[in-house]
Structures are given as structure tokens and as C-alpha cells.
Structure 1
Amino acid sequence: MQFRNNFHLAKKRKQYLNKTWRDYIRFSARERSGINALLLIIAIQCICLLILQQWHLEMPRYFSEEISNTEKWQLLTAEDQNPGLNYHPESVKTFGNVRLVVEEPFPFNPNEIDNEAWQKLGMAESKIRTLRKYLNNGGKFRIKSDLMKVYGMEESLYNKLFPFILLPDSIESVSHIKKPEPEARIRILELNTSDSAALTHIKGIGPVFAGRIVKYRNRLGGFFQISQLKEVYGLSDTLFDVIKVQLEVDSNQIQKKININESGEQDLASHPYIGKKMAKLIINYRNQHQRFSGIEELRNIPLLNEENFRKLAPYLKTD
């Protein structure tokens, strides 16, 4: 009897454990959908990883990143030695699993370009060092074929670069190059004796300015220094700087001088450096002192400062 009870008790315990286990491992419909979505994401990530690894293995190797200049040169020249290698247009060469992007040649002067430019043209580092040593020691490339004088220069590279070398083909073509003619000598005009037609030959002076210069010169009586041109109406400082090197002034050519002991108020006032107010002061002083004994006596007139006196003195006389 006791054995039977023990058997039933063990059986009930087993049934309880089985039910409890099923409760733990059984999933609802919502939980099963989540698990399926997670498995799908994992599968997609695995596929992407495989694709990226494959792309990395086939990714081209570029000059500046993964191979040395020596290896680059060997690969580039290998095509000439083995025509069976695969060549692709558009400056891309494939050698086995290595794909090289080669820059197209560009116009250059071998006397002027730097080492980086030589590398872009396909020159190996050892050849660049040789070339640089040649130039540093005073050497110079005068014609295109001089480039072949560089020790180790490959003829195939030279032929490729030949159309782009900015040098004459031969010595004869150098001699035929037209030398620039020497600059024409600047024509210098004397400002007090040149008429308006002659002044138009001055660079920067047209008929309008030529006419204004002559008109102002006549009012003054002549120029005694070049800087007086700045007083001509409309003549800018920039234009003055251009024309001043093309002109000269002979102060002995001042043709009109005013006699301050004889000239009337109107004649005095017509001069640009005097005007009506100063003319009246000069006449009043002359009336008080009978006459001017010399030009220096004008310093006694009020309002006539030292700067204005020096500008005016070359145009005055007392007898």
C-alpha cells in the first residue's frame, strides 16, 4: 500500500515538473514574431559583412596610399614588358589584383616643376633625385631631348611625356624664337613750349586735358615746376603720376610776368595766384608807398603767407 502511494506521488511530481518546464519554454504569438524579426536582422548583418569583406579584397590600391613608388614604377613598366597584362582606358591600369589610377600627363617645364609633379608624371623617386641633383649643380634643360640625359630615364616614359614638355624641339628652334624688342624710349616734352597737339602724345593725355593744360599755362604765364599740373581742373593724382615722368619744365620759359608797379587791379586779379582781394591789397600798398622797391616787399602785405609768396614770386617783376 505504501509503495503504491509513493508511486502516485512520484508520478504527480513528474507531471508538475513537465508542466512547469513547458510554461517556461513556450512562447506566445507576439513573442514568436519578435524572435523571427531578430533572426532576420542578424541574417542581414551577416550578409552585409560578407559583401564588405569581399569588396575590401577587390578595392583598388592607389599610388599615394598602399604601394611604394618603386612598386608603382615596376607595375607601370611591366605592361611594356608583358603585353598580356590587362590594360584599361581612362588612365586605369590593372595588374593582377592591383588596380592603379595613373594621372594623365600635363604640360610642364622640367626646369621648374617640383618633385610631387614629377611623381604625378610617372617618374620614379630615384630618377627624381638624379634629376634634382643635375639641376642643383647648375644644369638646365634647353631642349626636349636634354631630358634623356638624365641617368636611367626610360625611353618609353620620355616618349609619353614628349608632347607635354614646354621646351623647343631643337637648338635651331631656340634661335628662331623672336626676342622681345627693347622698350621704346619714353618721349620727354618741355611743358612750357609744347602746344596742345604735342601734349596729346603724352600717355594719359587726350585733347581735353591738353587743352586745359595750355589754357591754365596761359593764365599763369608758364609753369615753373611739374607739380603745378595738379592745379589743372580734373587732373587726378593717379594721372599726374603717369604723366610727370614724360614731362620736364624749363622755368626760363615763363613768358608772362606781371609788373606790380604798373599793372592795374584787373590785370593783377586775373592771375590764379592773386585774385580780386589780394589785388586790392597790392594796389593799396603801392599807393601808400609810391612803388615796390623789390618783390620781397610783398611780404609786408597782410594775408600773403610764405607759401603763397613763393608760388607767386616767379610771375612778378618790379621794372
Structure 2
Amino acid sequence: MIKDFFYFSGAQRTGIIVLFVLLLIGFIAVQLVPVFVAEPVIEIDDPGFIDDVRAFEASLERVDTVVKQWRRPAWQAPAFRNYASRSANEVSAAELFPFDPNTLDSAGLVQLGIPRHVVKNILRYRLKGGYYATAQRFSETYGLSPDLFARLHPYILIESTKITQLKIPDAEASDPVPVELNAADSTQLMSLKGVGRGIALSILRFRKASGGFVQIDQLREVYGMTGELFARIQPWIRVDSTTITKIKVNAAGVDKLRAHPYLNFYQAKAIYELRRKKGRLSSLYELRNLEELDSVTVRKIAAYLSFE
């Protein structure tokens, strides 16, 4: 029985051999790709950028040397103390000059005696859009020691014009422009205090699905709208109900009716079947006898139905 279990037909043996060969070829190919395919070389023609990179690399080598000295055995401690003392003197003797931490390049930061890991933190902060508005803010840079900041502080010069450019306008300084719900786009909606992109898109989706807003209170039904936000923006909302898109009851099918937020499938089907039975509906009054429609639904959907 066991022998039969391990028995393979001729076709199965051929398949196993082919699979093994393919796996072997794949393994060899993976090993040989790095040998025959060279990594792309990026050429940089900017001499200034190259000089900055070289200066920054030189500063990294100096810090790496300090780390290596620190890891030496105890019997080499005197030599290291001499080196550390000499390194400290070099930092103290670093060329200090007026600088703006928001614009100075990496080479300049290194020239001021700022350690490489701190330079990285500064550049990373700036790359993410950060801005040092004050010297005190610069002192909070991760890794910047109080002693080093004390030496640099007299030379920190931040351009006030940039602070003015980056100043965020006070939202309370001027009243928002009233917004008409059935005509506003997402940008106009987001001009209302507290309305972000998510809420603005929810308002537009509700408007498209329903055909438009009939009254301001319908904003409460929008996904994501809170009572607090509604109360805040209500004074700046206007509604022109004459511009809404209505459903032609005598021409619409079930899918068209059920697409409205105020009707479900069964209600839409009931309206459609009533119209099919009568041939034509002439007024909202005829819908009041449908069991599927309660008085609240009839009142809410009334403005969106056309019996022409």
C-alpha cells in the first residue's frame, strides 16, 4: 500500500523533473541578475549641491571618528580624552555667523558646529513644512544641546517677512460669505468655519441624490453633520428651493424612485404599481392611501415629486 502511494506514472515523473529544472533556472537567474544588471547612476551637475554634500559627509566622518574613539578599550582612555578635548575645542572654535535656521543649507549648519544628527532633524523638520518662527522654537530641535544653543542664540536671525507670509488669517477677523446650498461647490462650502472636505462632499452627495435642498434643516440629515456644526453654519446658509430637480412620477421607474434618499425599494415599487394600475397619477393626495407611505415620508418627499 505504501509503495503504491509513492508510485508516479511516467507523465508525473516528467512533470516533476520539469518543475525541478524550472526552479533551478529561477534560482540561478536571481543570483546572476545583480552581476549583469548594474544599478542606475544618477548624475548631478550642480556644483553647489555637490559641495554641500561633501561638506556634510565630512562632518559625518568627524562624528563617526568620535564614536570609534569612545568604543576603544579602557587602556586607551587617556588618548581618547585628549582627542575629545581637541574635538570640543574645535566645536568651540567653529565659525559663528548670523544665520536663519529656516534657510541655511546643511554645509552651513555643519560649519556652525551643529552635530550631524541634529542637522538631519533640522532638515527633516523643514522638509515637512516646519518653520522656526522664533529662536526659542529652534531651541526645541531634538538633539540640540542647551550649551550649543546658547552659543548660537546671538547669531540667530529670522526674517520677519517670512513670518508675515506664513501667518494664518484669523477666522474670526471677517464674517464668511453666505452660501446657497443648491449652487455652492466644495470650495464655497469649505469656506464655512468647521466644514472640512469630508462634510462638503457629504453635502454635495446628498444634494445630488435628493435633487437639491428644500430647507436648511435638511443639513441635519447629511452624513457627518453634528448639531454643533449645524448651529455654527446655519446663519450663513441660504436655500433656493426653486432650483431643485424633481422626479416625474408618471414617467419614472422603480429604480429612479428608489434612488431618492427619502424612498426605499418597497415605497418606490408601491408608487410605481399604483401609477401602472391607474395609468396616471395627478396629485400627491393619491399617494396617501398607500400603506407603504407614512405621513412623515409623504411630507418629506412631496416637494420632490412632479405629476405633470
* TM-score of the alignment, normalized to the shorter chain, above 0.5: no
- TM-score scaled by length of structure 2: 0.43
- TM-score scaled by length of structure 1: 0.41
Higher relative contact order by CA 8 Å / sep ≥ 6: 1 or 2? 2
Give the greater-gyration-radius structure (CA): 1
Which structure shows the higher helix fraction?
2
